[in-house]
Amino acid sequence: MKLFFRKRQETAVFHLPESGQEIRQLIEYREDALIGRTSVISEGLLQKASIFFGETDAELIRDMIQTSRQTCFFCPPAVFKATPTYAEAVCPGGRMRGQSTLLFPNLFPLAAIHSVLTWPDHHFLRPGEFSSERLTDLFLLAGQFIAAIRRVYPDIRFLSLNCNYMPPAGASVLHPHFQILGSREPAHRLREVMDAAGVWHQTNGHCYWNDLIDVERRTGDRWVGMSGDWAWLTPWSPLGSNEVMGIHESAETVFDLEDNDWRSLADGLSRVLKMYDDQHYSSFNVCLTGGCCDTTAGQRCVIRVISRQNVRSLYRNDEYFLQKIHGIELIVSPPERVAADLRPRFES
C-alpha cells in the first residue's frame, strides 16, 4: 500500500445576476490517505475567509472575563474547595498539584476517567499566553496523573488529552483548562483511525504515521518542523480550520510519553497557538491521542489542533449539515498556506 493524497474535482457553473456572465468555479475534494474522510475546498471560498471566521470582539471578551470571574469555580479559593476529589490511591489529598497547576475530577464525567487540569491563578489566557512553560507545567501534571491511572485502574486502555478554548469551541467555563478522558475503548471515530493504522502496519510492515512524516518532510508543502521527537505538519485533508498535527516519531500510546516528550509537546503547541493569536483567531480545540495500551502495532501519539469561529456575539457555527451529517469538512485556509505561515515559527 502506497500513501496517496487523492483528490477529485468538480466544476460549478452559474451566471452573474446583472451581466449574465458565465462563472465556472473549481471545487476540490481531498481524501485523507488513511481513512478516506473528505474535505472540500472551493475557489470562491478563499476570497470569503475573513467573512467566514468573523472578527473577534475584544470588548465582548473583556465583559465575559469580568462577569465570569465572580462565580468561577476554577479560580481560588473555590477551586481548592468546591471541586470534586479522587480517591487517595490516585492522588493523596484528592487533587493533584503541579507548579502552578491543579487536576481534579470533572463533576459531569463523560468517561470512567474524566479530569480537569487548569492554572488556578489565570482566569483568562489569550491563545498566545499558553506559553511553553505554562503548558509544560500542565502536561507534566498530566503525565504524573496518567502514571497513577495506569497503576490504580489497569482496565483503562485508552487516553486522550483535550481542550475546548472559549465558547465557539465548546468551552462551558471560560477559565482555560484541559481535560483527560480515559476509557476501556476509544470513541468510534478514533477507533476507525486506530484500526486503519493497524491494517496499514499489518499490510506494509511499517507505521502509517512514520510514512506520513517521511512523505511530508520530503515534499515540504505541508511540512512545519520538529520539536523534540514531535513532527509537525498540516494534514492534506483537514478535520477542521487551520488544522496542525504533531506526530511523535516513536511513542505509541499516551501512557508512553515521558517528561521530555511532554516538554517538547508544550514547546510545539505554544508555537501553533501563538500563530493563531497573531492571526486573530480566538477559539480552538486540541486533542492528543495514541493507541490502546495493549494494541500498539502501527500506532503513534498524535496531537491535532484546530481553530474555531472567533468569539463575537451571534457568531456563526462552523458545524452545519456538511460537517455534522455529510461528514465533510470545509477547507477555508488551504493546509499548504497554514504550513507556510507556521514553518518560520519552528525555525528558531
Which positions lie near Zn ion, rule CB under 5 A?
72, 74-75, 123, 175
| Nearest to 273, CA basis, from 135, 104, 84, 66 | 135
Which residue, judged by CB position, is nearest to Zn ion in the bound state?
Answer: 72
Question: What would the grid cell of residue 186 be?
Answer: 476509544
Contact 206, 3 (CB under 8 A): no
Q: Give me the least distance between CB of 179 and Zn ion, in Å please.
A: 16
Contact 243, 285 (CB under 8 A): no
Q: Based on CB atoms, which residue is closest to Zn ion, 75 or 96?
A: 75
Q: Based on CB atoms, which residue is closest to Zn ion, 75 or 272?
A: 75
Q: Give me the least distance between CB of 119 and Zn ion, in Å please.
A: 9
Block residue for cell numbers 510519553: 257
Q: Based on CB atoms, which residue is closest to Zn ion, 98 or 182?
A: 98
Q: Based on CB atoms, which residue is closest to Zn ion, 72 or 149?
A: 72
Helix axes 335-342 and 259-278, enclosed angle (nearest 10): 110
Contact 139, 180 (CB under 8 A): no
Q: Based on CB atoms, which residue is closest to Zn ion, 33 or 72?
A: 72
Q: Give me the least distance between CB of 123 and Zn ion, in Å please.
A: 4
Q: Give me the least distance between CB of 82 and Zn ion, in Å please.
A: 12
Q: Give me the least distance between CB of 117 and Zn ion, in Å please.
A: 14
Q: Based on CB atoms, which residue is closest to Zn ion, 175 or 263?
A: 175
Q: Give me the least distance between CB of 74 and Zn ion, in Å please.
A: 4
- One-letter-per-residue 3-state SS of the chain: CCCCCCEEEEEEEEECCCCCCEEEEEEEEEECCCCCCEEEEEHHHHCCHHHHHCCCCHHHHHHHHHHHHCCCCCCCCHHHHCCCCCCCCCCCCCCEECCCCEEEECCCCCCCEEEEEECCCCCCCCHHHCCHHHHHHHHHHHHHHHHHHHHHCCCCCEEEEEEEECHHHCCCCCCCEEEEEEECCCCHHHHHHHHHHHHHHHHHCCCHHHHHHHHHHHHCCCEEEEECCEEEECCCCCCCEEEEEEEECCCCCHHHCCHHHHHHHHHHHHHHHHHHHHCCCCCEEEEEECCECCECCCCCCEEEEEECCCCCCCCCCCCCHHHHCCCCEECCCCHHHHHHHHHHHHCC
Q: Based on CB atoms, which residue is closest to Zn ion, 108 or 321?
A: 108
Q: Based on CB atoms, which residue is closest to Zn ion, 178 or 208?
A: 178
Q: Give me the least distance between CB of 126 and Zn ion, in Å please.
A: 15
Q: Give me the least distance between CB of 80 and Zn ion, in Å please.
A: 12
Q: Give me the least distance between CB of 136 and Zn ion, in Å please.
A: 21
Q: Based on CB atoms, which residue is closest to Zn ion, 127 or 335?
A: 127
